[in-house]
Amino acid sequence: MSIHISAKQGEIADKILLPGDPLRAKVIAEHFLEDAVCFNEVRNMFGYTGTYKGHRVSVMGTGMGMPSISIYARELIVDYGVKKLIRVGTAGSIDPNVHVRELVLAQAAATNSNIIRNDFPEFDFPQIATFTLLDKAYHIAKKLNLTTHVGNVLSSDVFYSNMPERNLKLGELGVKAIEMEAAALYYLGAQHGVDTLAIMTISDSLVNPDEDTSAEERQNTFTDMMTVGLETLIADC
């Protein structure tokens, strides 16, 4: 077992969905996986392994923010040999054409975090998705007739911004949404040579606030991204 994950070797599949909310991991395991077994309860960061359409798949919460996902994703990659990691979470739209309950596939993730800058202060190191996963997810979503946007997102260290107008300015430059984890996941993918992708459901909007959803909806619904994520994980297996 690793420091923060109590699973034994072999209990975690080589492909995994990573919701931020550990209760969303439980929902995914109960509604999408067959014969799901819990492999982690440390800090109530629930993780499960089961099968989806005959393929062995895991799901585990990562918590909120880049420091948290960096801990869990690194241990999954380094200590448990996970090769495909797909974040399924929520994001806030900063594009007036991107609406609540629609999907965003993060082709790239800008960030205001110093996690990457601490390693490469002289570069703006680009955080990008694995194209094969991105391409598969896009075509799967379109086949399911889901409204899906592909583009840049902002991975922010700040949830309650004191200068929200800066975020809205990014929307004018084509950034689709704000979330808090994708850049760190993509950086770990680049470091360790594994496949990573972030699929987000828009849960609220900085430009259309009347569309916002409740905490219960965010935890228990938004199943489209779960389906796209699982189908992407098992594609071409």
Active-site residue set = 204
> How many residues does this entry show for the chain?
237
| CB atoms near residue 192 (< 10 Å) | 15
Residue 125: which residues within 8 A CB-CB, separation 6 or more?
A: 116, 119, 187
Q: Which two tokens stand for residue 34?
A: 């067959």
Q: Where are the alpha helices (DSSP H) in the chain?
A: 22-32, 66-80, 131-143, 164-172, 182-192, 215-220, 223-234
Buried b (16+ CB within 10 A) or exposed e, 160-180: eeeeeeebeebbeeebbbbbb
d(CA 26, CA 18): 11
Q: Which two tokens stand for residue 58?
A: 């895991």
Three-state secondary structure call for residue 179: strand
d(CA 2, CA 35): 24
Cβ 180 vs Cβ 155: under 8 Å? yes
